[in-house]
Every structure is written in structure tokens, then in C-alpha cells.
Structure 1
Amino acid sequence: MLVHLRLTVPEDLTDDVVRLLEARSRVTNLVIQPGVCRDPRGDLVECDTARESAGELVDALRDLGLADRGGIVISRPTGTPFRRAGELEDAAPGEPDDAVIWDEVLASAESASTPTISYHVFLVLATVLAAIAVITDSSVLVVGAMVVSPDFAPVAALCTGVVFGRLGVVWRSAILLVASFVFAIAVVAVLGVIADGTHLINAADVTRPRPQTAFIWHPDHWSFIVALIAGAVGVLAMSTDKTAAMVGVFISVTTVPAAGNLALGLATWQQSEITGSASQLGINLAGLVLAGIVTLAIQRLLWQHVTHAAQLLFGRLP
């Protein structure tokens, strides 16, 4: 698995950048187009490298000052059907699936900490689904609400900001997480009041026995344990680009279902539902954030050593 680097290089840095790339044995398809860049002015340099080596190479380019004075764009080819690509992958340390490009992780955190209309719409709709799941006692709808919800993105961004010391990311993520849940709960509570007033629902629908969905407002020690595991899985999947594993994170924690139940509790003013749901929501978010920070910190410090040890264990070192 290769990644493509597109570099906008000021003319006085071109020789240093080219020497750096030529000295790397895991770089191929090096292309230099002098003077074609206009903003910023300079030369265009492109190359491909093994994903496992991309992070180290970007760090070296940053040390040359390219990140401040030029441009570094990382992209992923959809296919690399040529012999040299296979040779680079075989020569690179570790496995492509284990490689972490921290610049991509940071870029993802910056994006996830920025409030957007679509984020709020998805969270509101997920909370509406969760509220309907409460009324109908439907575990299927609970799962649907969990999958629809985008709330793990700012959680992961917050964890990344803490580990990398990006206080701006931490602050924006925390505000987005809190404000978006408050907004979604408020919207669904208003809808609940309207539904109650029109006799579409009543307090009994919220307080009656609900064997399929009662767990979302009855927090216990397992709620925190599951949140810890889900937080660790989530940030690991994010950093290694295992998007399929993220679905498991979404349907493991009951943040949005608790928010939906809390909204209905507020709409019908059932204090036990309000207290239980708020506790469940807080426990889940705390577990996600704590596990995410610890996992990312360990990964940042030890991941390279772990992947090297795995290569020794599996006998894949050249």
C-alpha cells in the first residue's frame, strides 16, 4: 500500500527536498517540475512511498521547513499495479494495515472539532430515532440511532488534542460535544412536549417496563467498562484507518440512546428517567474520553516498537 506525496517547494528548498527523497530507499516515482507552482511560487515535486514510511518522511520534510513555507499533500492511490510498489511494501518495516500517519490523525481531529450543520442534523436525527426506540421499546431502533450518530468524531478529536497538546482542538471539541448534545436533547424534548400535548405519547410510554431498552437509562459498572473498551477501539480504528471497526464502537455505547431517553424524560418530566439517562450519558462520555486519551498516548509512544516486535514474532522482517 503506497501513499502519494504532492509537494509545493520553494526554489531554495528544492535541492534539499530532492536529496532527501533520493536518499530514501522506499521512495519511487519521483517527479520534479521546476517553476510550475504559482501559489506559493516554486517547484512541484511528487513521489510515492510505502505507507509505513510516510509518517517518518513527512516529519523529515517538516524539519526542512517545507510545512511552513510550501505545501505537503498526502493522498492514497486506488491501485498501484507495478512491480516496484510491491518491492517497497516488502522492504518497509511493519505492515501497511498497522501504519499510522499522525499528520492524517491530526488533520482528522482538526476537521472533527469544527461544528457543521450536517453534524448537528445527524445528531438530532439520531436522538429522535433513540426517542422513538424508547417509546416503542425497539432494540433495533436503538442500534440504528447509535449507527447514525456522529458523536464519536469530536470525542476522538478531543483525545487527539490532549495527547498532542493542541489546546485549540481540545477546547473546540469539548464545546462541540457538549453544545451539540444540549441542542439535540432540547430539540427532541420540545418535540416530545408537542407529542405529549397532542396525545401522541404520554408519560406512561416513558416509564412503563421496557425490557429491550431499559438498559439505556440504568447505568452500572458495565456501562463504564464497555465505554472504556469502545473508546480504546475507536481511537485505534481511527488512527489505523480501520473504518469498519468504527461501526462496532457506535453500537457499543449508549450516548445517543441516553440522550433520547433524557429528552423524553424532560418532555414528560420523569425525574428518574432524567437522572438515569444523564448519568448514563456522562459515564459513557467519560469512559470514551479516558480510554481514548490513554490509548492514543500509549500508541504514540510505543506503536513503532510494538509493530517491530510483531514483525519479529511473525518472522516477517527481511
Structure 2
Amino acid sequence: MLHLRAICPVEHTDEVLVALKQHPGVTHVVLLRGAAIEPAGDLVEADVAREATDVVVASLCALGVDRNGGVTLEQIDTALSDAADRAEEAAPGEGADAVVWEELLSRTGEESRLNVTFLSFLIIACLLAAVGVVTNSPITIVGAMVVGPEFGPLAAIAAGMVLRRWDLVRRAAAALAVGFPLAMAITAVAAFAGSFTDLFSRDMVLAAHEVDFVFQVGPFSLIVALLAGAAGMLSMTSAKSAALVGVFISVTTVPAAGYAAVAAVLGEWDICLQSIAQLAVNLVGIVAAATLVLGLRTRRGRARELGRPLTSG
């Protein structure tokens, strides 16, 4: 279940209460009149079954609560209540299958931002991938996959394309367009320093056959990217968020970027270009599959059209 908190203008409070109480998937409704100071109004709280959340939030937004007050949602990990059990049983569908569209927009909107944290994680991931390449260590390559933050912007691009939120697409694309070249450039500088100081040699890298999969482009590269994109979007739009870790480990976006930087420093342009091709195939495949999955879920269960600007900042 999700905990909903709404700050309502006084003139809309009764309508909000009616909207909440008439939905069978809502319970634990609480009203605190005059409790809200900024913005001023009444505070209404309720617990909502996940599968009912999108419809409930839509009804509150139709009353202008999001514009003149505010609506927040929080995940409830444990709810010991017969009323909560009845609400979840009465709400149509399954909670794990429900898509909370406002939650998806807020999450992808936040994760698509080009900021120091995103760049830091991407740079560290590329450097880890480079270490994995020069030490012939698949384990280090896997570590780089886990650290890489690139699925956030990729998911944002898919969500933006399906919901026609082109501002989200542009922002996420800018994060990738700036992030990957910067991370690869810094990795190339580090690789040059390592090569110059004899920390590793060209022969060491070319003999590292355990990590050749990073740059070897083939049909399975696209297949894995498509499956990862589908799994990632299913994870982001459902309650099964733990599956995202598996998505990170399955694709070789960051390792390909790191390998490309090392190969460029060593003058192995064939491997460099293959690595860049691997990176491109993975990025395109993930976005394509994520867009398809989100599009299918939109046609199946979308309750309303989301055309408002992001409220997450």
C-alpha cells in the first residue's frame, strides 16, 4: 500500500473526502482541519492500495489539489490492519502489476538529471570497467555494471516517449550525451597515465580474453539489451524494484565505454569501434524494449493523460 497525504484548500476538502471514501481501495482516512500552514489548508491523509493509487491521485488532481495544495505518496512496508486488507482485496487488479504514473514520472524525472552525483557514479563505473579490462577480471566488470547509473536516463527517455513528455526525453538524452563522453575521456586519461607508468601494457590488454565479451557485438548483444530494457521497465513500474540490480548486471553499456577508452589509448581502433558499437546497441535496445513495455502497460491500464509539467523540480 501507499500512504497518501494531501494538503487541500478548505473549499475543496469535502470533495476530496468524498473522492477518497467512495473508492473501495482507500482506507485509514484522516482529516486535520486547518493543520496545513504553507500552503494553507486542511490536511487529509489516507492509505491507498497500490492498484487504486493512479485513479485516486487523478481524482485529486482533477480537483486542483496538486496546483493549490499538494499531494505526496510514500511506500508502506508493513500495514497491520483488517481495513487495509479489505481495501487491497477490493481494489481491482494486483498491486505488483499496478503502475503509479505520477510515481514513475517523479522517479524518472529525478534520475534523468545531469548532476555531479550521476557523473561521479558514471565516471567511477567506467574506471572500474577499465581496471577490469586491463586485469582480465570479469568480476570487476560486473562491479562496474552495478555501479553504472545509466538505466535511470534510459528509462526516462522511454517514459518520455510513451507519455509524450519531450522535456523529459531531452533532459535524459542530455545526461547521457554529456555523461558518457566525459566518463570515457577521464577513463582515457587514466588509462594513458597507467600505460605511461607501465602499470599495464598493450600485450596485457590484448591477452585479456576473459573480457572479450565486452566489445564483441553480435545478435545476443541486442537480445540481452532488449530483455534488460523490458525487465528494467517492468521493475520500475511495479513493486518488484529489486529486479533492477539484475538489469544492471546483464548489460555491458559501462564496460563497453571503459573498454573503448582503453583501446583508444592503446591505438586499437578496431576494438575501440566495436566497443562503441556495443555501447550503442545496448543503449538503443534498452530504450526500445522499455518503451514497448511501457506502451503496452499504458494501453492496458492508464487511467488518464499526464500532460502537466513535472512537479519534482
Separation in 2, partners of 1:303, 1:54: 12
- Cα contact 1:156–1:289 (8 A) shared by 2: yes
- Closer, same or farther in 2 for the Cα pair 1:166/1:304, shift >3 Å? closer
When normalised by structure 1's length, the TM-score is 0.92
Matched, 1:81 2:80: yes
TM superposition shift of 1:182: 0.6
1:64 equivalent in structure 2: 63
When normalised by structure 2's length, the TM-score is 0.93
Equivalent residue letter for 1:15: D
1:9 equivalent in structure 2: 8
Residues 220-279 of structure 1: CA deviation (Å, up to 9, x unaligned): 111111111111111111111322211111111110110110110122221112111111
Within 5 Å, which residues of 2 pair with 1:236-247? 236-247=234-245
Deviates more, 1:183-192 or 1:117-126: 117-126
- Cα contact 1:181–1:259 (8 A) shared by 2: yes
- Cα contact 1:203–1:270 (8 A) shared by 2: no
2:310 equivalent in structure 1: none
Identity level (%): 38
SS of match in other structure, 1:182: helix
Match of 2:294 among 260, 272, 296: 296
TM superposition shift of 1:161: 1.0
Separation in 2, partners of 1:299, 1:86: 25
Separation in 1, partners of 2:56, 2:108: 21
Separation in 2, partners of 1:248, 1:143: 11
SS of match in other structure, 1:212: helix
- Cα contact 2:136–2:205 (8 A) shared by 1: no
Equivalent residue letter for 1:229: L
2:223 equivalent in structure 1: 225
Within 5 Å, which residues of 2 pair with 1:247-266? 247-266=245-264
TM superposition shift of 1:187: 0.5
SS of match in other structure, 1:5: strand
Separation in 2, partners of 1:182, 1:301: 36
SS of match in other structure, 2:210: coil
TM superposition shift of 1:26: 2.5
TM superposition shift of 1:303: 4.5
SS of match in other structure, 2:41: strand
1:214 equivalent in structure 2: 212
Separation in 2, partners of 1:52, 1:288: 26
Within 5 Å, which residues of 2 pair with 1:169-188? 169-188=168-187
Separation in 1, partners of 2:240, 2:46: 25
Separation in 1, partners of 2:108, 2:292: 16
Separation in 1, partners of 2:129, 2:162: 32
Separation in 1, partners of 2:226, 2:28: 43
1:152 equivalent in structure 2: 151
- Cα contact 2:184–2:257 (8 A) shared by 1: yes
Match of 1:275 among 273, 278, 284: 273
Residues 32-51 of structure 1: CA deviation (Å, up to 9, x unaligned): 11112121111111111211
Equivalent residue letter for 2:182: F
1:286 equivalent in structure 2: 284
Equivalent residue letter for 2:212: A
SS of match in other structure, 2:223: helix
2:308 equivalent in structure 1: none
TM superposition shift of 1:304: 7.2
SS of match in other structure, 1:74: strand
TM superposition shift of 1:142: 1.3
- Cα contact 2:137–2:210 (8 A) shared by 1: yes
Residues 104-126 of structure 1: CA deviation (Å, up to 9, x unaligned): 00000110111222221111111
Matched, 1:124 2:104: no
Separation in 2, partners of 1:76, 1:174: 29
- Cα contact 1:127–1:184 (8 A) shared by 2: yes
Separation in 2, partners of 1:66, 1:258: 46
Separation in 2, partners of 1:102, 1:138: 40
SS of match in other structure, 1:213: helix
- Cα contact 2:52–2:91 (8 A) shared by 1: yes
Equivalent residue letter for 1:20: A
Equivalent residue letter for 2:129: A
Q: Where in structure 1 are there 5+ consecutive unaligned residues? A: 306-318
Aligned length: 303
1:309 equivalent in structure 2: none
Equivalent residue letter for 2:234: L
1:47 equivalent in structure 2: 46
1:99 equivalent in structure 2: 98
RMSD: 1.5
